[in-house]
Amino acid sequence: MRVGIFGGTFNPIHYGHLRLAECAVMELGLDKVYFLPTNIPPHKDSTQIIDIAHREKMVLLAIRGNHFFAFSDIESRTQSTTYTADTILKFKEITGGAELFFITGSDTLKTFHKYVRYKTILANAKLVVAPRPDAIDPGGIEKDVLDAAVIIKNFEQLDISSTRIRELVKSSSSIRYLVADDVREYIIANSLYSPERKS
């Protein structure tokens, strides 16, 4: 088994996330990609992130219909900060030693060595990277991280970010074609990211 692990806040999940996972499946021959919404991420201000129940629901809505995609609550069910190294080791156990691929954006490469026990991640999973324009500067990346990185070659850089989507919602602008229709409808129905909403 070749299993992709795609963690993130998914605040909200968008077509950039889905396209990256799809390209990883096709290019690397992955049997499955698990999407792991993180409840309490170590590198972000959690006060700016909506409730995990909403983010879980949006992930489930976004990935349904693709049999290569699956949901995992390993990082969403905990009430404490989660670390990628622990998640990787849990997946290794759960999958019976499957070959693991940790999917991330190339903007994380320069700071990847600051991940807690990052060498554990590299020892137990391939580091799959989505290239971004001018983001991969070998001079600014630790050698062991750069050596471990597997670049997805056929990923089209989509100029979409969760931050921009939230900004558009706050300004009552359309987010159609940035997120899956079911996700867009869920955001509207639950008034997510609106100026008056605090959670």
CATH for 2-160, options being 3.40.50.620, 1.10.760.10, 3.40.50.1370, 3.40.30.10: 3.40.50.620
- Tokens in use for 145? 């991280």
Q: What is the rounded CA–CA span in Å between residue 99 and residue 61?
A: 27
Q: What is the rounded CA–CA span in Å between residue 97 and residue 146?
A: 24
Q: To the nearest whole number, what is the mean pLDDT of the chain?
A: 89
Domain boundaries, the chain: 2-160
Q: What is the pLDDT of residues 163-182, one digit of tens each?
A: 999 999 999 999 999 999 99
The conformation of residue 114, written as its DSSP 8-state character, comes to G
Q: What is the pLDDT of residues 58-69, one digit of tens each?
A: 999 999 999 999
